[in-house]
Chains A and B, each alone.
Chain A
Amino acid sequence: MEKKWEELSWQEKREERFKRWLSQDIKFANSQAEKLYKERVTRFVKAIKLEEPDRVPVMLPAAFYPAYYSGYTLKDIMYDYDVLKNSWLKFMNEFGDMDSFGGPGLVFPGKVVDMIDYKLMKWPGHGLADDSQSYQFVEGEYMPPEEYDDLIRDPADYLMRYFLPRSVGALAPWSKLGPMTAFVGIPVWYVSQFGDPDIRKSYQILLEAGQECNRWMEAVMEVSQASLEAGYPSIWGGLNGAPYDFIGDMLRGTAGVMMDMFKRPDKLQKAMERLVPIAINETVSMADALDCPIIFMPLHKGTGGFMSNEQFKTFYWPTFKEVMIGIINEGLVPIPFAEGDYEPRLEIIKDMPRSSVVWWFERMDMAKAKKVLGDTAGIAGNVPVSVLCTGTPQEVKEQCRKVIESCAKGGGYILTGSAGVERGNPDNLRAMMEAAKEYGVYK
C-alpha cells in the first residue's frame, strides 16, 4: 500500500515532486522536444542531488533580457502584455538551446501597480526614467519600533491594518478597519465596516486591479505553456526569503533593523520567529500550484559586511534555516540567491541536510565554496554580470571555463551568472551554453 504524503521522508516527497516535474502533462511540439525536456529536467535533478548529470546544467541569467533582445524597454513590456508575450516568445524561438525557460512572471504589470499606487517600488515612468532597465525598491520605515508587539500578536491583522494601508496607496482606508481576526461569533459588526464609503472604494479598486492582474497572468501563462511545449522546463516553483529580510526590507528599513539588533533584539527575534511558519505555508501553497519544486530565495541583508558572523548566527541564520528546513520537509528545493559576499558565511551555512539546497552565489571564490560546501550542498554561479553585459563572447566563455573547472567535479554544480542580465550581446549568453557543452560534460 502506498504511504500517505505525511508519512513520506523529505527525500521521498522530493522524489514525488521531481517525478511530477519530469512527467507533467504537456502536449509537446514533437518527440524531440519531449526528449530534450526530460533530459533537461534530469540534468537539474541530478545536480541538485549532488550526482553527475550528462553535463553541467545552465540557468541562463536572462532576467529581462528578452525585452532588450526584441527592441523593447521595461516600460513597454510592463504596460503592454502582447509586447511582453511576443518578446519572450521571439527570444525563445530565436535563441537556440537552453536548459530552461519560463514565463515573464517577474515583469510586474504596470497598470496594476499604478492602480493600487504601490509605494515600495519605483518603475519606469513612475519615479524612474521611461527608459530605465529595471525597477528599484524603495525602503522605508513602514513599521515604527513601537509596533513590534502588534506585529508579533497577529501578523495577518498587522499586514491588513497597518502595513498595507501605508505601503499601498489604494488601501490607505484600511487603517480605519477594526481588528481583522474576529472570532466573536456574530459577524455583523465585522461586516458593517465594509459599508464605509472609503473602504468600499478601496475594494472596488482591488477588484478591478485583480481583473487587470489576471489579464497579465494570461500572457505570462501563455509563454510558460509555449516554452513547456517547446521542451524547455520551468525552474520556477516559487519565491521566498529570510525573515530578517522581510523585516529589514519591508517593515523597518536597513538602518532600522540594524538598530533593532542593538536596541530591541528580543522583539526582533520574536517577530522573525512569528514569520517562519507563515513563510513556509506561503511557499508550499505557491509550489503546490506549480509543477516545479525549485524555490528561489533572494537574500539581502545578511551578506558579508552587513553584519558580523556572530550577528549572522544570532539574527539571520536561525529563522532562515527554519524556513528552508520547513520547505525542504515538504519536498521542495530552496535555491538561496546569496547577494553580495557570502564567503565569510560558508562554514555557517554548511549546516544543512546533505543535498537539500543549492546555493547561488554572487561574489564568491567558487573553488573555496566547492571545497567547503561541495559534500553537502549544490552550488551555482557566478560568471560576472559585468563580463556578460560588456565583454566579448570569448571572454564569457573563458570565465565559464574557469568556474566549471573549479566547481563541476563530482556534480552538484549549476552554471549561471552572478545576477540577471538585462542587456548586452546575445552571443554572450550563447557562449555560456557553449561553454557548458564544451567544458562541462561528465565522462
Chain B
Amino acid sequence: MPKDFITQLADLEEEEVIKLVKQRLEAGDGALAILEDSRKAMEIVGDRFVKNQYFIPELVYSGELLRQITELVKPHLVQSGETKHLGEVVIGTVAGDIHDIGLNIVDFMLGVNGFKVYNLGVDVPAEKFVEKMKETSAPVLGLSGFLTLAFDAMKDTVVALEAAGIRGKMKIMIGGGQIDDEIVKYAKADAYGKDAMAAVFLAKKWIGGN
C-alpha cells in the first residue's frame, strides 16, 4: 500500500510530497484540507523530535517542505480559517543578542503543539516585550538568549514588566546558551527550559492542555 500524504510529509519525502500536492490541487482538493494534512504531518515531525528520532536538521527540512506546500496552495486559498489554539505564548531573544536558532525551534515546537506563538525575533528591547504582553494578555512569555549578556537583559526585561504592573499576569520561561536555573533566580523568571520540549512542557503546565 502506498504511503499517504501525511506519512510521506512526515517522512520528508520531498519529491513525492510536492507531486502529491500538485495532483491534489488539480483534482480540486481544497487548499485548507491540504494545509490541515500538513499540520498533522508536522505534529508527527514534532513528536519524532520529542522522541529523539528527529533532530534540528529534520525540523529545518520539514519547515522548508511546509514553505513549499504553502507557496503551492496559496493561490487556491479562498479564506483562511481561524484555528483554535491551546493558548498564546510570546517569545523573543532579549536585547543585545541576535541569536535565533533556538528561538525558532521553540517557535516551531510550540506551534505544532497547538499554541499560538508571537515570535518577536531577536534583539528585542524590554519595552517591546511589555507592549506585546499588554496587547495580547498572553499568559506565558519565553525569553531566549545565547550570550552571557543575556543574563542582565533578561533581568531588565522582568524589571520592566514589573514596572508596568503586569508581571503577576504571566509566567516567564527562559532558555538558551549559558542560561540555567541560576539565571532564573538572578532574573526573577519562573522557570528554565533546557530545550524546545521543555518549553512545550512548561507552556502546557501553565496554560493547560495535554
> Interface on A for B, CB 8 Å cutoff?
122, 128-129, 132-134, 136, 138, 254-255, 258-259, 261-263, 305-308, 311, 384-387, 389-391, 418-419, 421-423
A-B contact count (CB 8 A): 76
B residues at A contact (CB < 8 Å)? 12, 14, 52, 54-57, 60-61, 64, 96-99, 101, 147-149, 151, 178-180, 182-183, 186, 195
What are 8 pairs between A and B in contact, CB < 8 Å?
A133-B149, A136-B97, A136-B99, A306-B56, A384-B178, A387-B182, A390-B182, A418-B178
Are A386 and B151 touching (Cβ within 8 A)? yes
CB-CB under 8 A from A422, the residues of chain B are 148-149
Identify the interface centre among B52, B180, B182, B195: most chain A CB within 10 Å of its CB: B182
Select the residue from A128, A133, A136 with max chain B CB neighbours within 10 A: A136
A133 to B97, CA, bound (A): 10
- Knowing A128-B96, A132-B149, A305-B195 are in contact, say whether A386-B57 is a contact too (CB < 8 A): no
Q: Quick check: A389 and B148 within 8 Å, CB to CB? A: yes
**A259 x B148 contact (CB < 8 A):** no
Contacts A384-B180, A386-B180 given; does A262 touch B148 at CB 8 Å: no
- A-chain residues with CB within 8 Å of residue B55 when the two chains form the complex: 305-308, 311
Expressed in whole angstroms, the Cα–Cα distance for A311 and B56 within the complex equals: 11
Contact status A259-B149, CB under 8 Å: no
Are B97 and A385 in contact, CB atoms less than 8 angstroms apart?
no
Which 6 A-B pairs have CB atoms at the shortest separation, nearest pair first? A258-B57, A386-B182, A390-B186, A258-B60, A133-B149, A385-B178
Say yes or no: A311 contacts B96, CB within 8 Å. no
Complex Cα–Cα for A255 and B67 (A): 14
- A259-B57, A421-B148 given. 5 additional CB < 8 A pairs? A133-B149, A258-B56, A306-B57, A385-B148, A385-B178
Give the distance to chain A from B128, nearest Cβ to Cβ, in Å.
Answer: 15
Q: How far is the CB of B136 from chain A (nearest CB, A)?
A: 27
Complex contact A386–B178 (CB within 8 A): yes
Whether A311 contacts B151 in the complex (CB less than 8 A), given A254-B101, A385-B178, A390-B182, comes out as: no
Q: Which residues of A have CB within 8 Å of B178? A: 384-386, 418-419
Q: Most chain-A Cβ atoms within 10 A of its Cβ — which of B55, B148, B180?
A: B148
Closest chain B CB from A221 CB (angstroms): 28
Chain A hits for B56, CB < 8 A = 258, 305-307
How far, in angstroms, from A255 to B100 measured CA to CA in the complex?
A: 11
Asked if B61 and A419 make an inter-chain contact with CB atoms under 8 angstroms apart, the answer reads: no
Report yes or no: B149 in contact with A122, Cβ–Cβ below 8 A.
no
A395 to B148, CA, bound (A): 18
